[in-house]
């Protein structure tokens, strides 16, 4: 990922070069030619709770996210802890946060298959079992991986978090929701041993995977259901179109902020007919308004 | 080699070299680990690359953890006793890890990032991958340290040699809890040309007094000691050799108290001593573990000539000399190892080959001929899977931890050895039918005292219930065996059957509840150690019961038990000062946005 830090370093290096060459060139053209496929990314999110409870990095309420990179791949992911565990005295954010942290660590250690993010998700899930701290709960997850070698995006999705890829003003790929029934997504779970039979638990292998070629300038949105349930698709698309081909991380950040902020305000709007309300209606449930939920937006553009 | 007479000249002063700092690139070998192969939590591979948790202090899964700590492990009857107590390690090295670095350097500084219970590193060795000679870079006694993370930078011995592999040795026996290391940084001067590196490798920059270095001679470190000792001796020694007056038997008796190194030196004194130092009775027990860095085919050959009635043989750790080196030398060493075991097959009773790469199917075949074997230890050897040890019938202790043994072979061994008392199956990943093994043990090994199977994931509550039939059981290590299952009433049958239980390890039995644990506390009055790591459902109530009702309790580990509050633990610590209550600190510094 092309973070601000790296940008800063590139600029300063370019400047240094410039000084050496008696101000003849402002930047080194070779540097730009040599860049291989990578993602420029930004994150924004809100917790459902108004008051700030936690401030751990990589977490918004029960949602969690990560960004990691390796020599051969850039990886992004989000996970949404299932809130129902609070009733059992289990912090739902813990499972999702650890799942994402472990993914991040596995990527940084190079212990993953650059053509199969579902393996990454599965090994991260099994790794949770080996933690001394008993991590219980369940979570949906979505991980996308840009393989630098063949500029292909590999994705894996379990549950109702998801991703969306926009190219030239059109949505070219979008994840499908996996649900057992309305408002009950597929989920990875580690229930307390006694409750095993009563809990929905899907194998990491049941996640849906996909892969496709990406082009320079493609916009990738990876977000939790708090975004997709509250923002109609055309609003999201309008925002994503703005940042096609964007290589400046801070301008990308502004788009991510506006998507997250819109989703956040609409989720508390009691009169708005949200996509969630529409689906509820289709399932015979009469409700209106947004769905208050934690919101995580991870936005990235492909730079080749 | 910094003797007083010569001053040390750093190589970087005379050659133009590049200063380089690097983190570990790969893990080569280790003797201890906390977790199984499939997992990266607490694993040795966490030492690769830059630190991730330092300067935070705590029990992090991102760091490397050693399996044992403190005195608790030594009190067990299953722990290996020294085969040759004369040859003991002054610093008491218990475990090691060998790391490889990307670039070859002349070492000047090593930083060890310790993030939990620091102070266990006692020795640092270095060597070049293509050269079998190890250089001692630093050694020092284990340290008592304050409970905070530490960037440990020992003063390295000043030597001009190239290294790209280092080996850390640990002594955890003084620690309160597990130690954890986050990363290792090696810094030094990197030769810029092949020519430079050849000059340094062959020591052409300084005049060297070359002494042949084998176990019969001396190591670099001892040269200093010897020169000192010689000084003392020449002052005090009277020109009369008192030993002339003593009969051979007494001298041999005195020799019995000497370690192998001293014996080898005695053999160089005069003809008579040389003859006496070759006496067969001196070499009935041989332990070369502390000389691992010197042991090669020649050394083994040397001992093979001396031994006749070999009873105990410890060749743990003795393979580093060979590793990655010449294929043919490896082959010779392997053959020599086999022939020594074969030669001693009639008399050998104790054999320990821990952490030895050269144990493979052929060596196992030779071990099978040693029908007198009582004590067999093959910890951490992965070059064999099938283990047809069908001729052994006298085994008392068997250590197969960190191996790929399969249930079929193990059951065969268990059925043939009715006297078996200690069985260690920690981290055996290919052991699928554990329940059947317990059944076999309950039927054929009535004397079993110690059962260890840390991280066996294939247990079912039914299998564990059968431990109730092992009435002599004193030590039961079932840590991580029932992570996500409901244990049912299996502890009840253990409580009813194993009245002599002293140590009970139930780490991460996440389904365990108070009611299920209470029977054990009520009926096993001998319990001295209980381990309940990571069981959320444990309450203060059951802990109080254990503390109050078990008169012999000395260690209670309730780390990561969220049901118990820290304030309660503090009160118990004051109430029961003789009991160590472990409570791992989880996160002292969290990373905030």
- Structural domains present in chain B: 11-201 (2.60.120.260), 243-257+280-376 (no CATH)
Strand locations in B353-506, DSSP E? Answer: 375-377, 397-399, 422-424, 450-452, 475-477, 503-505
Instruction: Please identify every stretch of chain B with a pLDDT value under 50, giving residue numbers as ranges.
Output: 1-5, 209, 211-213, 215-235, 237, 590-593
Helix, coil or strand: residue B330: helix
Peptide bond into B55 cis (omega under 30): yes
pLDDT at A13 over 80: no
Nearest to B59 among A132, A136, A193 (CB): A132
Q: So what's the ipTM on this one?
A: 0.81
Total domains, chain A: 2
Q: What is the pLDDT of residue B411?
A: 93
Q: Any residues with CB less than 8 A from the CB of B148 and at least 6 apart, and which?
A: B57
DSSP one-letter code for B124:
E
B456 touches chain A (CB under 8 A): no
Tell me whether residue B448 is exposed, middle or buried, using C-beta atoms within 10 angstroms of its C-beta: 0 to 12, 13 to 18, 19 or more.
buried
In angstroms, the Cα distances linking A211 to A116, A157, A178, A206, B383 are: 9, 12, 18, 16, 39
A29 and A114 together in one domain: no
CA distance A53 to B209: 69
Q: Enumerate the residues of chain A whose CB falls inside 8 A of the CB of residue B484.
A: 129, 190, 193, 196
Q: Which residue does chain B place closest to A111, by CA atoms?
A: B40
**What is the C-alpha to C-alpha distance for residues B514 and B503, in angstroms, rounded to an integer?**
18
- On whether the CB atoms of residues B187 and B108 are closer than 8 A, the answer is yes
Examine the domain organization and report whether A147 and A260 are in the same domain.
yes
Q: Give B508's contacts in chain A (Cβ within 8 Å).
A: 132, 134
B585 in contact with A, Cβ within 8 Å: no
Note whether A24 and A133 are same-domain residues.
no
Alpha carbon B532 to chain centroid, angstroms: 24
- Predicted pLDDT at B320: 66
Is the CB of residue A18 less than 8 Å from the CB of residue A26?
Answer: yes
Specify whether A18 is located in the same domain as A132. no
Residue A248 pLDDT > 60? yes
Distance between CA atoms of residues A273 and A265, nearest Å:
13
Closest CB from B42, B511, B592 relative to A193: B511
Q: Identify the residue whose tokens are 């190239």.
A: B162
User: What is the C-alpha to C-alpha distance for residues A151 and A167, in angstroms, rounded to an integer?
Assistant: 15
Q: What is the reported pLDDT for A15?
A: 41
Beta strand segments in B432-528, E = 450-452, 475-477, 503-505
Chain B residues whose beta carbon lies within 8 Å of the beta carbon of residue A190: 484
Mutation site, A91, A130, A136, A137, interface B, largest B CB count within 10 A: A130
Contacts of A303 (CB under 8 A, 6+ apart): A2, A35, A37, A38, A39, A40, A216, A217, A247
Continuous segment of H or E residues that includes residue B556:
strand B555-557
Same domain, A30 and A46: no
Domain boundaries, position A6: 1-35
A41 to A29, A225, A255, A300, B545: CA distances (angstroms): 23, 19, 11, 4, 54
SS3 B407: helix
| Amino acid A28: pLDDT | 43
DSSP A114: T
A81, A188 contact by CB (below 8 A): no
Pairing of strands B475-477, B450-452: parallel
C-alpha B553/C-alpha B555 separation (Å) is 6
Over residues A106-156, the pLDDT tens digits come to: 998 888 899 989 899 999 988 888 888 888 888 999 999 999 988 899 999
Judged by CB atoms closer than 8 Å, whether chains meet at A136 and B39 is answered as no
A175 plus A31 within the same structural domain: no
Pairing of strands B312-314, B350-352: parallel
pLDDT of A198: 67
Closest to B180 in 3D by CA, of B26, B94, B57: B57
CA B162 – CA B203 distance, rounded (Å): 10
**What stretch of H or E contains B197?**
helix B194-201
Query: Would you call B50 an interface residue with chain A, using a CB distance cutoff of 8 Å?
Result: no
Q: Write out the residues of chain A at the interface with chain B, using a CB-CB cutoff of 8 A.
A: 55-57, 105-106, 108-109, 111, 126-127, 129-134, 136, 190, 192-194, 196
Give the burial class of A173: count Cβ atoms within 10 A of its Cβ; 0-12 exposed, 13-18 middle, 19 or more buried.
middle
Verify that A238 and A103 share a domain, yes or no.
yes
Q: Are residues A103 and A15 in the same domain?
A: no
B70: left (phi over 0), alpha (psi -120 to 50) or beta: left
Q: Report yes or no: B479 and B504 within 8 Å, Cβ to Cβ.
A: no
Give the pLDDT confidence of B180-215 residue by residue, as tens digits.
999 999 999 999 888 888 888 887 766 554 544 454
* A204 and A267 assigned to the same domain: yes
The answer to whether A142 and B51 have CB atoms below 8 angstroms apart is no
Per-residue pLDDT at A7 exceeds 50: no
Tens of pLDDT, residue by residue over B242-281, are: 778 888 899 999 999 999 888 888 888 888 888 888 888 8
How many whole angstroms separate alpha carbon B309 and alpha carbon B591? 61
pLDDT in tens, A60-107: 888 999 999 888 899 999 999 888 888 888 888 889 999 999 999 999
- Do A158 and A53 share a structural domain? yes
Q: Are residues A104 and A202 in the same domain?
A: yes
Q: Evaluate whether B54 touches B151 at the Cβ level (below 8 Å).
A: yes
Q: Are B179 and B170 in contact (CB under 8 A)?
A: yes
Residue in chain A closest to B533 (alpha carbons) equals A132
CA dihedral of B79, B84, B86, B88, whole degrees rounded to 10: -40
Q: Based on the fold, state whether residues A60 and A155 are members of the same structural domain.
A: yes
CA separation, residue B25 to residues A69, B186, B494 (Å)? 18, 11, 46
Query: What CATH number did the domain enclosing A132 receive?
Result: 3.60.40.10
Show the tokens assigned to B215.
């176990």
Q: Does B148 touch chain A (CB under 8 A)?
A: no
H-assigned helices in chain A: 4-20, 29-34, 92-108, 117-129, 225-228, 233-242, 249-267, 275-282
Residue of B468, B443, B467, B469 lying closest to B453 (CA atoms): B467
A285: left (phi over 0), alpha (psi -120 to 50) or beta: beta
């Amino acid at each position: 990922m092309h973070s601000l830090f790296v940008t800063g370093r590139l600029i300063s290096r370019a400047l240094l070069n410039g000084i050496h060459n008696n101000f003849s060139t402002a930047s080194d053209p070779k540097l730009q030619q040599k860049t291989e496929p990578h993602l420029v990314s930004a994150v924004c999110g809100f917790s459902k709770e108004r008051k700030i409870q936690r401030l751990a990095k990589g977490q918004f309420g029960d949602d969690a996210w990560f960004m990691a990179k390796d020599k051969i791949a850039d990886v992004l992911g989000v996970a949404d802890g299932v809130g129902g565990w609070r009733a059992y005295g289990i912090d739902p954010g813990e499972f999702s946060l650890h799942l994402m942290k472990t993914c991040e660590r596995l990527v940084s250690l190079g212990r993953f298959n650059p053509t199969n993010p579902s393996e990454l998700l599965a090994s991260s899930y099994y790794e949770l079992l080996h933690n001394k701290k008993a991590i219980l709960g369940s979570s949906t997850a979505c991980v996308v991986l840009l393989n630098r070698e063949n500029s292909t995006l590999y994705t894996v999705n379990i549950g109702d978090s998801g991703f969306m890829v926009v190219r030239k003003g059109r949505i070219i790929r979008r994840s499908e929701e996996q649900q057992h029934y309305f408002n009950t997504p597929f989920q990875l779970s580690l229930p307390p041993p006694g409750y095993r039979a009563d809990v929905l638990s899907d194998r990491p292998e049941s996640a849906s995977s996909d892969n496709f070629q990406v082009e320079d300038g493609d916009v990738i949105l990876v977000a939790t259901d708090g975004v997709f349930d509250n923002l109609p698709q055309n609003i999201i698309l309008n925002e994503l179109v703005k940042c096609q081909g964007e290589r400046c991380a801070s301008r990308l950040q502004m788009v991510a902020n506006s998507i997250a902020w819109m989703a956040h305000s609409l989720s508390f709007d009691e009169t708005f007919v949200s996509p969630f309300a529409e689906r509820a209606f289709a399932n015979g449930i009469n409700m209106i308004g947004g769905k208050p939920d934690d919101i995580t937006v991870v936005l990235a553009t492909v730079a080749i | 080699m910094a003797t007083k007479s010569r001053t040390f000249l750093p190589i970087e002063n005379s050659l133009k070299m590049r200063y380089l700092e690097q983190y570990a690139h790969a893990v080569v070998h280790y003797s201890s680990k906390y977790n199984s192969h499939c997992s990266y939590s607490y694993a040795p591979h966490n030492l690769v690359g830059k630190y991730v948790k330092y300067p935070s202090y705590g029990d992090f899964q991102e760091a490397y953890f050693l399996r044992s700590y403190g005195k608790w492990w030594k009190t067990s009857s299953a722990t290996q006793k020294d085969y040759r107590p004369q040859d003991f390690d002054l610093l008491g090295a218990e475990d090691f890890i060998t790391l490889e670095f990307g670039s070859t350097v002349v070492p000047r500084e090593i930083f060890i990032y310790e993030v939990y219970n620091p102070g266990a590193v006692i020795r640092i060795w270095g060597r070049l991958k293509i050269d079998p000679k190890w250089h001692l870079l630093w050694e020092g006694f284990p340290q008592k340290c304050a409970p905070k993370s530490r960037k440990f930078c020992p003063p390295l011995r000043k030597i001009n040699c190239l290294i790209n592999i280092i080996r850390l040795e640990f002594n955890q026996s003084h620690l309160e809890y597990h130690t954890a290391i986050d990363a290792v940084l090696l810094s030094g001067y990197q030769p810029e040309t092949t020519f430079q590196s050849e000059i340094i490798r062959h020591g052409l920059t300084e005049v060297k007094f070359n002494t042949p270095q084998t176990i019969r001679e001396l190591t670099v470190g001892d040269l200093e000691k010897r020169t000192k000792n010689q000084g003392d001796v020449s002052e005090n020694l009277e020109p009369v050799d008192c030993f002339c007056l003593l009969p051979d038997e007494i001298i041999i008796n005195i020799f019995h108290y000497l370690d192998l190194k001293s014996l080898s030196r005695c053999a160089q004194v005069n003809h008579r001593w040389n003859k006496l130092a070759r006496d067969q009775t001196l070499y009935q027990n041989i332990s070369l573990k502390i000389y691992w860095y010197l042991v090669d085919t020649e050394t083994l050959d040397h001992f093979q000539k001396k031994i006749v009635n070999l009873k105990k043989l410890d060749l743990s750790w003795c393979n580093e000399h060979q590793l990655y080196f010449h294929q043919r030398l490896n082959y010779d060493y392997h053959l020599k190892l086999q022939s020594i075991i074969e030669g001693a097959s009639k008399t050998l009773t104790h054999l320990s080959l821990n952490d030895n790469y050269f144990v493979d199917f052929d060596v196992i075949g030779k071990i099978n001929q040693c029908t007198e074997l009582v004590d067999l230890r093959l910890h951490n050897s992965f070059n064999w899977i099938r283990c047809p040890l069908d001729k052994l019938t006298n085994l008392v202790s068997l250590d197969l931890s960190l191996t790929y043994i399969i249930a079929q072979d193990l059951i065969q061994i268990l059925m043939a050895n009715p006297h078996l008392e200690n069985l260690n199956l920690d981290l055996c990943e290919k052991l699928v039918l554990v329940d059947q093994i317990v059944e076999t043990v309950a039927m054929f090994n009535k004397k079993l005292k110690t059962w260890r199977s840390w991280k066996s994931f294939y247990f079912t509550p039914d299998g564990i219930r059968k431990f109730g039939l092992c009435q002599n059981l004193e030590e039961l290590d079932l840590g991580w065996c029932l992570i996500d299952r409901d244990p049912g009433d299996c502890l009840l049958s253990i409580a009813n059957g194993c009245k002599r239980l002293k140590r009970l390890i139930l780490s991460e039995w996440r389904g365990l509840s108070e009611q299920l644990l209470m029977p054990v506390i009520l009926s096993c009055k001998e319990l001295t150690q209980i381990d309940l790591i990571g069981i959320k459902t444990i309450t203060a109530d059951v802990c109080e019961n254990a503390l109050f009702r078990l008169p012999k309790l000395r260690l209670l580990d309730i780390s990561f038990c969220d049901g118990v509050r820290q304030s309660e633990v503090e009160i118990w610590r004051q109430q029961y000062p003789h009991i160590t209550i472990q409570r791992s600190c989880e996160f002292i510094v969290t990373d905030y946005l």
